[in-house]
Structure 1
Amino acid sequence: MEIEFKNLLTADEYKQLMQVYGKQDETIWQANDYFDTPTFELRQHGAALRIRQKKEGLVLTLKEPKDDGLLETHVSLSEAEAEELFKYGLIRSDAMNEQLSRFKLTASLEHLGRLETTRFETKLNDGLLVLDQSHYLGVTDYELEFEVQTFEQGQLAFTQLLEKHQIPRRETKNKIVRFMERKAVSR
């Protein structure tokens, strides 16, 4: 289970937070390749499927809404397995196919595009602070994520963090939702 709070940032707010909490040379690069059926069947269930590429390798992740957070199913992929998903929409993992079977997809999965992120992470007393600069489908956006163990305590700490830096609370959709909405507009 992942419990996190999110807030979109302006470029200036992002730079301000990076000056306070981190350095550009402490960032990591990652890429997310998103998959769904041509009619966005996973999205209609509030779910998302991605391959995340990092220096450590490739991980296929299915995110599904559950209670106050997201249920995540992770499977490591080889280059060949990732290639099969990109080319043919095939997944070799029994565990992932079992999770996906609950959605009763009527069409094959297809690659929708890539979102690249430069990420900075630091542990604070109340949770993990994450600052992301993301590029996808001609868009650049900035985001603060705050990952916590408990919803109530995390919500309070997140609100205090925003107030401390005079950042207004903004309704913020997950990266994949922002990506999918942009993708739907560009089709």
Structure 2
Amino acid sequence: MAQEIEIEFKNLLAEEEFNTLYQQLKFESVALIEQTNYYFETDDFRLREQGAALRIRRKKETWTLTLKQPHSEGLLETHDSLTEEEVNQWIIGRPTQAEHVGPQLEELGISYEDLNYMGSLTTRRKEQPYKNTTVVLDHSFYYGKDDYELELEADSRETGEKVFQELLDRYHIPRRKTDNKIKRFFQAKSD
């Protein structure tokens, strides 16, 4: 699928909260997924100004270019699969044409030539089904920092909100304003 609506809820965690959820929700038996996001932006941050973000994600041996844009239900994600050679071209400043992402970038008024590779963020992730949602525990590393995060993905905003709040309440975790990974990445880059 080239496009999808992502409905997710996020909360940064203290290491102790992360460990509690890991044990209580029995994540030890879930396979570890390691993924690296390679971020792209214009020099004048035109993607960010429009609430959008552009990344290439390496997960196992697959590479996916994703443009995230605001949507009334969550985020509109547009995807293209890339080869490792195409990824290398993107990183050295020679982006290849992307069938689905390209037209979306054009609508935002952004050309390939305006895009620059900004760096990477690596996440060690575990995810599993939970009450008709997917609960995710992430430990991310970027610019000499690391953080812990709870994510919950749902098919509807109502279901996701209910299950997410129940989870936080059950484990006495305060709800924290949590920027997405790309915002945290750029904040760390500028620190």
| TM class, shorter-length | over 0.9
Instruction: Give the whole-Å Cα distance in 1 for the aligned partners of 2:171 and 2:118.
Output: 36
Which ranges in structure 1 are unaligned for 5 or more consecutive residues? none
Q: What SS class does the counterpart of residue 90 from structure 2 fall into? A: helix
Which ranges in structure 2 are unaligned for 5 or more consecutive residues? none
Per the TM alignment, residue 175 of structure 1 is displaced from its structure 2 partner at its CA by 0.6
Q: Would the alpha carbon gap of residues 163 and 6 (structure 1) be closer, same or farther in structure 2, given more than 3 Å must change?
A: same
Structure-1-length-normalised TM-score:
0.94
Instruction: Give the whole-Å Cα distance in 1 for the aligned partners of 2:34 and 2:70.
Output: 26
| Match of residue 52 from structure 2 | 47
Q: What SS class does the counterpart of residue 166 from structure 1 fall into? A: coil
Match for 2:82: what amino acid?
L
Match for 2:92: what amino acid?
K
Per the TM alignment, residue 122 of structure 1 is displaced from its structure 2 partner at its CA by 0.8
- Comparing 99-108 and 14-23, the one that deviates more: 99-108
- Comparing 112-121 and 14-23, the one that deviates more: 14-23
| Match of residue 7 from structure 1 | 11
Over aligned residues, Cα RMSD in angstroms? 1.4
Q: Percent identity?
A: 44
Instruction: Give the whole-Å Cα distance in 1 for the aligned partners of 2:33 and 2:82.
Output: 20
**1:19-168, aligned counterparts within 5 Å?**
19-21=23-25, 22-23=27-28, 26-105=31-110, 108-168=114-174
- Comparing 98-107 and 154-163, the one that deviates more: 98-107
| Divergent runs of 4+, >6 A | none
Per the TM alignment, residue 129 of structure 1 is displaced from its structure 2 partner at its CA by 0.3
- Comparing 107-116 and 130-139, the one that deviates more: 107-116
Match for 2:86: what amino acid?
E
